[in-house]
Amino acid sequence: MKKALDEGDHRRRFLRLLATSPLLGLSGLSWLESEVEWRQALDSFAQSEEIITSPEQALNVMEFEAVARQKLPPAHFGYLATGVTDDGTLRANREGFAKYQLRVRRLRDVQKIDLSVRLFGTTWDSPIILAPVGSQKAFHPDGEITVAKAARAKGHHKILSTHASSSVEAVNEALGAPTWFQLYPTDDWTVTRGLTKRVEAAGCPVLVLTVDSQGGSLRETFARFRRTDLRQCTDCHVGGFTYNAMIRRRPMFQGLELSKVTTQLPLNLNWDIVKRLKDLTPMKLVIKGLATREDAELAVEHGADGVIVSNHGGRAEDSRRGTIECLPEVVAGVQGKIPVLIDGGFRRGTDIFKALALGAQAVCIGRPYLWGLAAFGQAGVEAVLTLLRRELTIDMRQAGTASIAQITREYLLEQ
């Protein structure tokens, strides 16, 4: 049944209309490029409920979440949305950004904004990278391939998960370049070696070792959504839900002897793994999931080539500490010797600006592109990337910073 529009709905629709209107005269900022597109959006806008019905209607990346929730089966949406226990760390990731405000400068030439960054010898069009996420066919029939096509179309880089539902070779082809590969080592070194040598042969320049979920996690939101899903899960999850059964269905594990594998990150794993991997492969090694100065120092000592500040999007530990709050001590720990990247709760251009100002070289996003993928496929992922880049560009103009290198600590105030 169609619900009556309240004042907030009308205001929301009006703002959306303004944002899409070429009459607004924000040259270079207008979301829709041609009058035809604008009229089509107006038509669908007039027909839409509160939830957007096409990517062009979105004012920000959060608007894709409601569509994803509407389209996905409950268990899959729960897998996407969940944090740990009552989602305290998930919320902390968002709340952490409020501790910083922007100190904006005036009368700077901001006509040309350069978003490019250089990482491990390659220049990228923007500092926004698509984080590794497993099982993307749970969100769209072509999962990782669709995401790779969107990343390619928009000039963004991505990291492929060990648990991807497409192979590294297929993703590289769709991306038009070798992806970075995220590694869960498992508890069998022959499998670690097999995965590493396969992605090395596929040309992947960077291996991203995830270390944040060694302790296990209690994902209550996932369990709650799953309870409401009445489908027969074993129709697709053939073999059941043990780790061993799951990886047997994953393309990256095909051809490997898996009988001894029981877990993605063994409980007794320690810093020796870094040296072992460095000895195994010439790929750059980035450690994903650090949160403290001490571990940042250890990463440098053990020869890591980079680190990612991350708590797995609030899905790893119950620390209730946002990654943006961890970033300054990790930056201090590496002392400029290796690049620091970060993820967790990035939804706005200002979030990205703040991380760059605190010393991150790049920012990874997870859920926003998955919402776009589930909502509208490739067009949804592209729209998410366009929105984030557009916001960052405007924020940089407003602050008077024309390039990423110009975004420094002096542009932030800490409350």
Ligand X SMILES: Cc1cc2nc3c(=O)[nH]c(=O)nc-3n(C[C@H](O)[C@H](O)[C@H](O)COP(=O)(O)O)c2cc1C
Sites of contact with ligand X (CB under 6 A): 79-80, 93, 131-134, 161, 163, 182, 210, 288, 310, 312-313, 315, 343-346, 365-367
Q: Which helix (H) or strand (E) element contains residue 372? A: helix 367-399
Nearer to ligand X, 32 or 212 (CB): 212
* Residue sitting closest to ligand X (CB): 366
Q: Rounded to the nearest whole angstrom, what is the least distance from the CB of residue 35 to ligand X in the complex?
A: 35
CA distance 252 to 243: 14
CA distance 142 to 162: 17
Judge contact between 215 and 291, C-beta under 8 A. Answer: no
CA distance 203 to 92: 37
Nearer to ligand X, 315 or 354 (CB): 315
Half-sphere exposure of 52 (CA within 13 A, CB side): 25
Nearer to ligand X, 38 or 371 (CB): 371
Assess whether 312 carries a catalytic annotation.
yes
CA distance 112 to 360: 22
Judge contact between 350 and 395, C-beta under 8 A. Answer: yes
Q: Rounded to the nearest whole angstrom, what is the least distance from the CB of residue 16 to ligand X in the complex?
A: 24
Give the Cα-Cα-Cα angle 48, 350, 399 (nearest 5 degrees): 120
The residue annotated as part of the active site, out of 76, 156, 163, 312, is: 312
Nearer to ligand X, 164 or 256 (CB): 164
Q: Rounded to the nearest whole angstrom, what is the least distance from the CB of residue 82 to ligand X in the complex?
A: 8
Nearer to ligand X, 364 or 407 (CB): 364
Nearer to ligand X, 57 or 264 (CB): 264
Radius of gyration of the CA atoms of the chain, in A: 21
Closest by CA to 193, choosing from 314, 280, 86, 291, is 280
Q: Rounded to the nearest whole angstrom, what is the least distance from the CB of residue 330 to ligand X in the complex?
A: 15
Nearer to ligand X, 31 or 346 (CB): 346
CA distance 105 to 109: 11
Q: How many CB atoms lie within 10 A of CB 106?
A: 7
Helices 349-357 and 323-334: angle between axes, nearest 10 degrees? 30
Could you tell me the two tokens for 71?
């389209």
DSSP letter, residue 132: P
Q: Rounded to the nearest whole angstrom, what is the least distance from the CB of residue 80 to ligand X in the complex?
A: 5
Could you tell me the two tokens for 343?
């993820």
Q: Rounded to the nearest whole angstrom, what is the least distance from the CB of residue 298 to ligand X in the complex?
A: 19
| Phi, psi of 24, rounded to the nearest 5 degrees | -65, -25
Would you name the residues annotated as active-site residues? 312
